[in-house]
Amino acid sequence: MTTVPIIELRNLRKQYVSVHAVRGIDLQIRKGETLTIMGPNGSGKTTMLRIMAGLDTPTTGEIRFNGTKIGDNNRKQIRNQATMVFQKTTLFNTTIHKNIAYGLKIRGFRKKEIHQRVNSVLNAVKLEGYAKRQAKKLSGGEQQRVALARALALNTPLLLLDEPTANLDPETVSIIEETIRYINRQNKTTIIVATHNIFQAQTITERAALLLQGRMVETGTVEEIFRRPSLTLASFARLKNVFTGNSRLLSEGTSLVDIGNGIHIETATPKTGRVATYVRPEDIILSRRPIKSSARNVFKGQITEITDQEPIVRLKINVGKEFLVQITKRSFKEMNLNLGTTVYLAFKASSVHAI
Amino acid sequence: MSEILEITLRTIHISATATLLATLWSIPIGSLIALKNFPTKQLIKSIFNALMGMPTVALGLILYLLLSSSGPLGSVNILFTPLAIIIGQALLITPILISLTTNALETIDPEIKDLARTLGASETETSLTILAEAKAGVVLALIASFTRAFAELGVALSVGANLRGGTRILTTAIAMEVQRGQIQHSLTLTAILLTIVFATTITTNLIQTRRRT
């Protein structure tokens, strides 16, 4: 017996005046599944989430919730079953307790139950004892955690998160990601996350979909998408230094990836088999002399291309494979670099993302 | 009870009732203008903004003509009663209350509406939530309306006629005392009028500041 998807989009299209926000979207999401919708700004991620949250209506196409077609007469039903956390943190101008209790009061919960739930979700987002504080006096990261807690308190079967960690500090990002994973595991909540951060997809969800200019260009498990990174994925994410190869574990717990031409990259991620690796150009250190440092990856090569993008300079360096390196214009001048100059580049194993 | 106290209490009673009466229609109308999108929205906002400066004597004259025994509403027989002043002041402050409520609601983050809806609120609950968010602005609108009603003269004089023991309020009494040359008496009444206006505004500000901290 096949189970009915919790939410299903059929040939969905949303048009604002003459602009197509999304079009031709077909998507099924199973109960308890976690899905990341990846895409650059303006690709239609938020529009999709808003339609799934029952906040917007599609121009054409169908949306089904637990098999029931959603229309104007039953859109309120979807709003009771799905909660959305917006990219821009929005809080009511009152205490944290009242913020979180809002949806529970509307649903007619008793005071005692509301109190218990508020405390429970505040614990989940690591804001114990904050209930009586004024919500708008918190830091940006704390406010976003309150927004997440407010949605979690309702324990709806579907949770929609729009860029939940954009512009937040690493500690808050880690708390939010951990909470998302916990809620999915504990309550079997179906979670859909829209993000332009492709690394978040592999951290918090099983399945990913890539949205470009309102069209869904790729869907699959996170591994499927990342192990064979398509040009579209790499270009949207502006991924540079993408190399694929076979990985084996080293005794230190790190992995060594053979990316071809005799080049091996060490990554702190323990992985075996076929993997894709990425190194951010700004994480690579450049030197004219051999580098003695803690960096596990050191290569010698020649500069093959120089692009001046004041105040930074991007260099292509051939070490057997071509790496893109980004340095400041000042460093570039001080090092007296030219095409063909022999240089050494180094990066830490922890700077290598392996998927 | 001294006459001054009686006049003061009557003035407060009339203006407070007028403010409450105007609130009944002005807050819903202000909410509709702020929260709904319709083609004539800007035009209607402009009309209410313009009416905020309505001269009180002009409104008083129109109401007098309507309510006088030969006017279309003469049969209601309320001219020169406190009720006539209450209705007149309520109409006078309606544009102020509507415009300031609309402004207060429009300053609220539009995402609050989506937030309330995604947390399960109905359309009515959503509107009430937005009103609650705009509480400070709406209270300011109420205070501004009350003080405008409290300090106006034209309407009270035209439809109240400053009848001793019946429709005499602070402003009409002040005008009368000035005409009589009773400067000392009129200054006392003016001091009471200004004290109440300032006290109302300052007390409201203090309460709002304390709630925010």
ipTM confidence: 0.76
Query: B112, A90: Cβ pair inside 8 Å?
Result: yes
Examine the domain organization and report whether A160 and A207 are in the same domain.
Answer: yes
* Cα A183 from Cα B39, distance rounded (Å): 45
Same domain (yes/no): A313, A176: no
A255 part of a folded domain? yes
d(CA A200, CA A204) in angstroms, rounded, equals 6
Pair (A159, A254) in one structural domain: no
Reported as type and span, the H/E element at residue B179 is helix B170-180
| Nearest chain A CA: its distance from B122 CA (Å) | 8
Using CB atoms, which residue from A50, A76, A90 is nearest to B115?
A: A90
Enumerate residues 95 to 114 of chain A having a beta carbon within 8 A of any beta carbon in chain B: 102-103, 106-107
Strands, E assignment, chain A? 7-16, 19-29, 34-38, 60-65, 68-69, 82-85, 158-162, 190-195, 207-212, 215-221, 242-249, 255-260, 263-267, 273-279, 285-287, 297-309, 312-318, 322-328, 342-347, 352-354
Domain check: are A104 and A190 in the same one? Answer: yes
Look at residues A250, A278, A306 and tell me which one is the last residue of a structural domain.
A278
Residue A118 C-alpha, separation from nearest chain B C-alpha, in angstroms: 14
If one counts every other C-beta atom within 10 angstroms of the C-beta of residue A128, the result is 10
Which pLDDT score, from 0 to 100, does residue A1 have?
46
CA nearest B123 in A: which residue?
A76
Q: What are phi and psi of A114, to 5 degrees?
A: -60, -45
Contact B56/A at CB under 8 A: no
Are A191 and A266 members of one domain? Answer: no
Residue A1 lies in a domain: no
Residues A194 and A333 in one domain: no
- Taking CA–CA distances from A93, the nearest residue in chain B reads B133
Q: Has residue A74 been placed in a domain?
A: yes
Q: Is residue A132 situated within a structural domain?
A: yes
Whether the CB of B119 is below 8 Å from some CB of chain A: the reply is yes
Instruction: Answer whether residue A85 is part of any domain.
Output: yes
Residue A185: partners with Cβ closer than 8 Å, 6 or more residues away: none
Q: How many domains does chain B have?
A: 1
Residue of B118, B123, B127 to mutate, testing the A interface (most A Cβ within 10 Å of its Cβ)? B118
Interfacial A residues in 58-97 facing B (CB < 8 Å) = 76, 79-80, 82-84, 86, 88, 90, 92-93
Question: Domain check: are A101 and A216 in the same one?
Answer: yes
Residue numbers of the domain that contains B44 = 3-212
CATH number at residue B22: 1.10.3720.10
Closest-CA residue of B relative to A155 is B119
How many CB pairs below 8 Å do chains A and B form together?
A: 49
A83 vs B contacts (CB less than 8 Å): 118-119
> A71 and A185 share a domain?
yes
DSSP A70: P
Across the interface, of A88, A102, A106, the residue whose CB is closest to B111 is: A88
- Does this model's pTM top 0.80? My answer is no
Q: How far is A90 from chain B (nearest CA, A)?
A: 7
Chain A partners within 8 Å of B122 (Cβ): 76
Do A243 and A192 have their domain in common? no
Chain B CB within 8 Å of residue A57 CB: no
Shortest CA gap B67–chain A (Å) = 46
Whether residues A29 and A152 fall in one domain = yes
| Closest listed residue to residue B119, CA positions, set A74, A122, A83, A147 | A83
Q: Cβ neighbours of residue B152 under 8 Å, at least 6 residues apart?
A: B56, B89, B92, B171
What token pair was written down for A121?
A: 């979700």
Please list every residue in chain A whose beta carbon sits closer than 8 Å to the beta carbon of residue B121: 102-103, 106
Q: Tokens 């400070």 appear where?
A: B136
CB pair distance less than 8 Å for A154 and B120: yes
Which two structure tokens, joined as six digits, stand for A192?
A: 């859909």
A157 and A263 fall within a common domain: no
Residue of A nearest to B130 (CA): A92
- Position A2 in a domain: no
The domain total for chain A is 3
Whether A225 maps to a domain, the answer reads yes
Give ∠ CA B24-B26-B27 in degrees, rounded to 5.
Answer: 80
HEC profile for A273-329?
EEEEEEECHHHCEEECCCCCCCCCEEEEEEEEEEEEECCEEEEEEECCCEEEEEEEH
Along the 355 residues of chain A, how does pLDDT read in single tens digits?
467 899 999 999 999 887 888 999 999 999 999 999 988 888 899 999 999 999 999 999 999 999 999 998 888 888 999 999 999 999 999 999 999 999 999 999 999 999 999 999 999 999 999 999 999 999 999 999 999 999 999 999 999 999 998 878 888 888 899 999 999 999 999 999 998 877 777 778 889 998 988 999 888 887 777 666 565 666 666 677 888 889 999 988 899 999 999 999 999 988 888 888 888 888 899 999 988 888 899 999 999 999 988 888 999 999 999 999 999 999 999 999 999 999 999 999 988 887 7
Let me know whether A182 and A300 are in one domain: no
**Cβ <8 Å between A106 and B120:** yes
Contact of A237 with A198, CB cutoff 8 Å: yes
Q: B114–A154: do the CB atoms touch at under 8 Å?
A: no
B133 interface with A at CB cutoff 8 Å:
yes
**CATH code where residue A304 lies:** 2.40.50.100
B38-56 pLDDT, tens digit each: 999 999 999 999 999 999 9
- Residues with Cβ < 8 Å from B41, sequence gap 6 or more? B33
What are the residue ranges in chain B where pLDDT is below 50?
none
Q: Is residue A318 part of a domain?
A: yes
Instruction: For residue A186, give the 3-state DSSP assignment.
Output: helix
**Residue in the block written with tokens 């004219």:** A288
Nearest residue to B155 (alpha-carbon basis) of B54, B36, B50, B23 = B54
- Domain membership of residue A271 as a residue range: 237-278
Phi, psi of B123, deg, nearest 5: -60, -40
Q: What is the CATH number of the domain that holds A112?
A: 3.40.50.300
pLDDT at B92: 97
CA distance A27 to A11: 9
Chain A residues within 8 A of B115 when measuring between CB atoms: 86, 90, 92
